[in-house]
Amino acid sequence: MARYLVTGASGFIGRHLVDFLLAAGNEVVALSRSQEEGTERGGQLQRIAGDIRNPVRVDEAMRSVDHVIHLAASVATRSTALSESINVEGTRVVAASAAQQPNPPTLVAVSSLAVAGPVLERADASKSKRRKHSDDEQSAAVSEGDPCRPVSHYGRTKLRAEQVLQGMADQIPITIVRPPCVIGPGDRNLFALYKTVRSGWNFVLSKSFRYSYISVTDLVPGILSAVERGTRLPSPEQTDQARGVYYLTDPNPVTFVELAEMIAASFDEFAISRRRPLRHIRIPRAAGWIAGGCGEIVMRGFGGRVFLNLDKVREGVGGSWVCDGSLAEQELSFRPAADLATRIIETTIDYHQSQWLT
C-alpha cells in the first residue's frame, strides 16, 4: 500500500484515478479546488480543497506521500494569463513542494499530445498547402524524440510546464506522460459529439485527418505503470530530453468520421433511437473560425463551458494528431486492454445508465 497525492482529483481523469487507487488499497490525498474537505472511505481518502498555485495548501497535501500524480490543469479559461498561471506556475509550486520533502516523492505529471503538435503541421513548408497528403504523412505519428511544435495556447503552456519539470529533474524523480484526447465514461466533451451524432449530423473540419485516442479506463493503469517503473527525466545538464516521457495511446488512430460511425453503431446495438441516418458534413475553415470565435466570446465573457473555441480550431485545422505508443509498450508494458470501438460501447452504456441519453 502506498500514499498518493492526486492534484485535479475532482476532474474527469482524477475521479477515475482516485477510485482505482482506493480499490487497490492505497491511501489517497485528493487535492482540488471544487470539493469539500474531509476524510472518508475508512480513512483511505483525504480530501483537501485548495489551488495548486497556493504553496501552503500544496505543502499540506504533500506531507508523507510516496507518489504525486499531477493532473490539475486548465484546458480553457476566460484568460490566457490565468491558463498560464495554472498550467506553468501551478506545476512549479507542486514540483517545488515535492522537492522540499524529507523524502521527495515520485512525481508523474500528466501532460498532453498538444505539447507536440499535429503530424501534418510538420510537413515541408515549401510544399503547396493545396497538395493532397501522402500515405506516408497519413501513417506518420509523433514520438518522444520529436521536437515539440505546439499550435495552441494550451499546448504551449503545457510545454512550458514540462520545461519547468525538466529543470527540476535533479531534485525529484519525475516522469511525464502525454495522452492524446482522453474519452470514456463520464466524459462531457465527447458527449457533445454524441448529441450531434444522435441528431443525425457530424460536422467536421476534415474528413481525412486522423486522431489518437485513449480511454480513461486504460489511461489510469498506464499512469500507474509510469509511477511504478517509468524512466525518470534526466538531469537538466543531460541532452537526452526525450527520456522519461511517454505517449499513452490506443495504437489505432481514427478520423472524426470513423469515430462518429462507432458512436452511431453503439446506439444501434443498444436500440438507442436516432433522429435520422448519420451524415458527415465538412464545414469550411472560415465557418470553423467563426464558430470558435463565438465560443471564445461565451467562454471569456460569461465563463460558460464550450465545446469549440479558437484554441480548438487552431488544433483542428493543423492536421492529424497521432502519437506513437511503442515506447510505453516496451518500457511500461502498457497497451490498452480493449480496442477503441469497445471503449465507445462502454461509454455509451455509461451515458445511457446515467440517463444522459434520455
pLDDT tens digits along 155-178: 999 999 999 999 999 999 999 999
Residue 140 CB-density burial (10 A; 0-12 exposed, 13-18 middle, 19+ buried): buried
264: pLDDT confidence band, cut at 50, 70 and 90?
very high
Q: What is the pLDDT of residues 198-246, one digit of tens each?
A: 999 999 988 999 999 999 999 999 999 999 999 999 988 876 767 999 9
pLDDT at 25 over 60: yes
Residues above pLDDT 90, as percent of the chain: 70
Average pLDDT along the chain: 89
User: Left, alpha or beta for 215 (phi > 0: left; psi -120 to 50: alpha)?
Assistant: beta
The pLDDT of residue 21: 97
pLDDT at residue number 41: 79
10 Å CB burial of residue 271 (0-12, 13-18, 19+) is exposed
What backbone phi and psi angles, to 5 degrees, belong to 277?
A: -55, 145
**Model confidence pLDDT, tens digit, residues 68-126:** 999 999 886 666 788 899 999 999 999 999 999 999 999 999 999 999 999 975 554 43
Query: If residue 158 lies in a helix (H) or strand (E), which one and from where to where?
Result: helix 153-167
Contacts (Cβ under 8 Å, ≥6 apart) of 201: 278, 279, 281
Is 240 or 136 the better-scoring residue by pLDDT?
Answer: 240
